[in-house]
Amino acid sequence: MSGTFVGMPAFPEAAREAVRNPTLRGNLRHATHTIRAKRARAVGELADWAELREAGRRIKDHTLRHLDRYLEQLEESVTAAGGTVHWAADAAEANRIVTELVRATGESEVVKVKSMATQEIELNEALAAAGIRAYETDLAELIVQLGKDRPSHILVPAIHRNRGEIRDIFAHEMGEWGRPAPEDLTDTPADLAEAARLHLREKFLRAKVGISGANFMVAETGTLVVVESEGNGRMCLTLPETLISVVGIEKTVPTWRDLEVFLQTLPRSSTAERMNPYTSMWTGTTDEDGPRAFHLVLLDNGRTDTLADTVGRQALRCIRCSACLNVCPVYERAGGHAYGSVYPGPIGAILSPQLRGTGSEIDASLPYASSLCGACYEVCPVAIDIPEVLVHLRERVVEGGPAVRRGNKVLLKPAKGHAAERAAMRAARWAFAHPGALRAGQRLASRTRRLHPRTLPGPGRAWSGARDLPAVPPEPFRDWWQRTRGGKDGDR
Amino acid sequence: MNSRERILGRVRRALADVTPDQRPYEEAVPRDYLRAHGERTVAETVELLAENLADYRAIVHRTDAEELPTVVMRLLAERGSREVLVPPGLPPGWLAEADPVRVHDRAALTAARLDRVDSVVTGCAVAIAETGTLVLDGSPDQGRRRVSLIPDHHICVVRVPDQVVSSVPQALERLDPARPLTWISGPSATSDIELDRVEGVHGPRTLEVILLG
């Protein structure tokens, strides 16, 4: 799977392709089940997990409800510590700011630590168009970049690739980008990691500009936090002369103390470790230690529109741990690419249609990419009620209604292709309001059950194309109840 | 209107439905989670630190002030280190018996030069027992962030029990956010290939921790 997200088919089509790929399903099943079991153990070590989760939820909610104040405070703290703050309303503006900052250094290449925000705005493509080469330095991101591919998981972006595929990508592509892979490269993970180390080290040691995202920004102190494992983050954050961090405005937390909650919940929820190998925290610039210039680009790009939605705004609490991906039965089978967004899985299904709007076919289909089983809500360390937002967005897609796009109030029209669903819902409303008709209909359905087709005809075809039609029971529940319990109690 | 005003205006309009929370922040968020997990004596906390460090593949040694120079010498010799990187404020006694050439970290040292150094010896600011984490804050005995990053072998000396805390909340209380901070839990690692853990990608492949007390 490669190519861009633009013009992606809707989720059901993309998922249908993905579930037919046995390698992908095998890789995903192994990976999600392994992380899932480890995470449960790591979380089980903390007796106060419920309290930490609730505190995390409250901290994020409080920040969001006073976000204007905390953003101003953050700007002030970062500036006082020697950094420069820029504001970007959308992807184009953020890309323009970063491109100009890189140009001002006179450099034509940058090293990057994995960042969802810069993927979201497609910064690498924008830099390439300006003649600047961006090197991804996270091992999985390197695999994705060299493979001309797209990430498929928040935390393990190359989760869909097995070691043999990775070996081939390294052997064929590394030479194009710098130091080639060794001649005798095997497919053992240790060998592959060593090849990545040698390939990237020459880039780290000469890099003058680093680009990062951040996991947290502390308004009170102006501190930015990056959580990682390999040390590529530390390389990008400390060796270059100029550091540019592109961060979504929702990554703000009010105080230094708030980190005590998230530094306990994030590693255990994401990599299922007590603590990830490296966490870097920096406040502006420090003389003779790390970059001399620090630029923070605060990114909106649909976040304030999401904030305007009273049900959907809770998605902004997300700390990108990816626990919801690993428990999702739909993600486990369809994989990350089917979501057509840098944010796959359950959180992607609610975040992407809010950040981008539900105008495109893929975004309108994402709220349906779920069985609503609720496992994602159970594991979420900031208690985002993903099923609630999914249902809310489904209603938005089907019924239309008021929303905010680019800061303006708009009235969304119902999405195309949901006419049958609206008709069915209206019919259901009528039937439930007329019990006699409902009962007669149910009995008729039971008696004719052997004649029912396996798929629906006409406008219902789309619905049954992605689902098995439920079998009608031989007897309606209400009749069964009356025949068994009802007769015994004798009250009906 | 510039983008700053535009974004802040959008935030304010988006929150028009929300009643402002007048309570001070300290009251807005319940902090009824634990300050530390479990009751332990000081010795048990140090023991837990050693266990959790080892669980994340750091190599743990214990010694006292008298034996420290010998231990450091031995660890460097076992690695065959020819050059050892020295932060500006490292207690000179720690390397008193070490054979390798001392490379003193200065601003003028390039990253490429540091890449040729075999080992580095640093102190630490705080160590967290529950997570097996060392925190470096750039003090003179720890040096710049790059010194514990580029050499492939890092020896970190932790003064026990003074520098050991139980938990993440206790560690944050002791740290100064104005300093650049590096939290280290075990050696550099990746699990990006079929979730097989491989130690040592870009940071040191070997992390040795000396508990000094």
Q: Which helix (H) or strand (E) holds A166?
A: helix A163-177
Mean pLDDT of B114-125: 97
Helix axes A22-44, A259-270, angle to 10 degrees: 140
Q: Tens digits of per-residue pLDDT, B180-204?
A: 999 999 999 998 888 889 998 999 9
Question: How far A10 CA sits from the closest chain B CA (Å)?
Answer: 28
Q: Could A273 and B132 be called an inter-chain contact, meaning their C-beta atoms sit closer than 8 Å? A: no
pTM score, whole prediction: 0.92
Q: Could B203 and A278 be called an inter-chain contact, meaning their C-beta atoms sit closer than 8 Å? A: yes
Name the nearest CA neighbour of A199 among A274, A276, A128, A139.
A139
Q: Comparing A205-219, A380-394, B20-34, which segment has the lowest mean pLDDT?
A: B20-34
Q: What was the pLDDT predicted at B62?
A: 98
Contacts of B9 in chain A (CB under 8 A): 407
Inform me whether the C-beta atom of residue B177 falls under 8 Å from chain A C-beta atoms: yes
Q: Which two tokens stand for residue A149?
A: 């591919």
Q: Tens digits of per-residue pLDDT, A58-116?
A: 999 999 999 999 999 999 999 999 999 999 999 999 999 999 999 999 999 999 999 99
Strands B153-159 and B119-122: parallel
As beta bridge partners, residue A251 has: none
Q: What was the pLDDT predicted at A6?
A: 60
Q: From CA A393, how far away is CA B156, in angstroms rounded? A: 52
Interface with A, mutate which of B191, B199, B207 (most A CBs under 10 A): B191
Q: What was the pLDDT predicted at A2?
A: 43
Q: Which two tokens stand for residue A76?
A: 């002030």
Q: Tell me, rounded to whole angstroms, the distance of Cα A16 from its chain centroid.
A: 20
Q: Tens digits of per-residue pLDDT, A304-336?
A: 999 999 999 999 999 999 999 999 999 999 999
Q: What was the pLDDT predicted at B174?
A: 98
**Which of A166, A259, A277 is opposite residue B186, by nearest beta carbon?**
A277
pLDDT above 90 covers what percent of chain A?
A: 75
Q: Which amino acid is at B43?
A: A
Interface with B, mutate which of A28, A275, A406 (most B CBs under 10 A): A275
Q: What was the pLDDT predicted at A492?
A: 46
Strands B181-184 and B133-136: antiparallel
Contacts of B128 in chain A (CB under 8 A): 275
Q: Which two tokens stand for residue B41?
A: 């004596």
**Which of B9, B172, B192 is opposite residue A256, by nearest beta carbon?**
B172
Q: What was the pLDDT predicted at A4?
A: 53
- At A275 the three-state DSSP class reads coil
Q: Could B33 and A48 be called an inter-chain contact, meaning their C-beta atoms sit closer than 8 Å? A: yes
pLDDT above 70 covers what percent of chain A?
A: 96
Mean pLDDT of A226-233: 97
Evaluate whether A4 touches A136 at the Cβ level (below 8 Å): no
As beta bridge partners, residue B135 has: B126, B183
All structural domains of chain B? 36-212 (3.40.50.10420)
pLDDT at B135 over 80: yes
Interface with B, mutate which of A260, A283, A409 (most B CBs under 10 A): A260
Q: Which helix (H) or strand (E) holds A436?
A: helix A435-447
Inform me whether the C-beta atom of residue B181 falls under 8 Å from chain A C-beta atoms: yes
Alpha-carbon separation of residue A256 from A80, A281, B3, B142 (angstroms): 16, 11, 27, 23
In A406-480, DSSP assigns E strands to 408-412
Q: Could A197 and B145 be called an inter-chain contact, meaning their C-beta atoms sit closer than 8 Å? A: no
Q: Tens digits of per-residue pLDDT, A377-398?
A: 999 999 999 999 999 999 999 8
Q: From CA A265, how far away is CA A259, in angstroms rounded? A: 10
pLDDT at A359 over 80: yes
**Residue bearing tokens 């790009």:** A301
Name the nearest CA neighbour of B132 among B42, B39, B209.
B209
Alpha-carbon separation of residue B148 from A211, A438, B119 (angstroms): 21, 73, 9
**Strand order from edge to edge, sheet including B181-184:** A252-253, A216-218, A223-228, A278-283, B181-184, B133-136, B126-128, B164-165
pLDDT at A234 over 90: yes
Q: B 95-124 residues with CB below 8 A of A?
A: 107, 110-112, 115
Q: Which amino acid is at B41?
A: T
- At A211 the three-state DSSP class reads strand
Contacts of A88 in chain B (CB under 8 A): 3
Chain A: residue whose CA lies nearest to B189: A230
Q: Tens digits of per-residue pLDDT, A148-158?
A: 999 999 988 99
- All residues at 6 or more sequence positions from A50 whose CB lies less than 8 Å from its CB, including other chains: none
**Residue bearing tokens 């259901």:** A428
pLDDT at A274 over 70: yes
Alpha-carbon separation of residue A23 from A26, A163, A333, A334, B193 (angstroms): 5, 12, 11, 12, 14
- At B77 the three-state DSSP class reads helix
Alpha-carbon separation of residue B74 from B95, B155, B187 (angstroms): 11, 12, 20
Q: Tens digits of per-residue pLDDT, A444-488?
A: 888 888 888 777 777 677 777 777 778 888 888 888 888 888 656
**Which of B34, B56, B188 is opposite residue A230, by nearest beta carbon?**
B188
Q: Tens digits of per-residue pLDDT, A134-188?
A: 999 999 999 999 999 999 999 889 999 999 999 999 999 999 999 999 999 999 9
Mean pLDDT of A331-343: 94
**Which of A218, A278, A407 is opposite residue B182, by nearest beta carbon?**
A278
Q: What was the pLDDT predicted at A152?
A: 92
pLDDT at A3 over 50: no
Contacts of B14 in chain A (CB under 8 A): 304-305, 307-308, 313, 404
As beta bridge partners, residue A247 has: A298
Q: What was the pLDDT predicted at B142?
A: 98
Q: From CA A144, how far away is CA A169, in angstroms rounded? A: 9
pLDDT higher at B172 or A22 = B172
**Which of A31, A260, A304 is opposite residue B7, by nearest beta carbon?**
A304
Question: How far B122 CA sits from the closest chain A CA (Å)?
Answer: 16
pLDDT at A118 over 60: yes
Residue A489's pLDDT band (boundaries 50, 70, 90)? low
Name the nearest CA neighbour of A134 among A115, A151, A159.
A115
Contacts of B184 in chain A (CB under 8 A): 277-278
Q: Which two tokens stand for residue A302?
A: 């649909």
Inform me whether the C-beta atom of residue B133 falls under 8 Å from chain A C-beta atoms: yes
Q: Could B183 and A31 be called an inter-chain contact, meaning their C-beta atoms sit closer than 8 Å? A: no
Chain B: residue whose CA lies nearest to A273: B131
Q: Could B34 and A47 be called an inter-chain contact, meaning their C-beta atoms sit closer than 8 Å? A: yes
Evaluate whether A321 touches A155 at the Cβ level (below 8 Å): yes
pLDDT at B86 over 80: yes
Q: Tell me, rounded to whole angstroms, the distance of Cα A8 from its chain centroid.
A: 17
**Which of B52, B149, B198 is opposite residue A190, by nearest beta carbon?**
B198
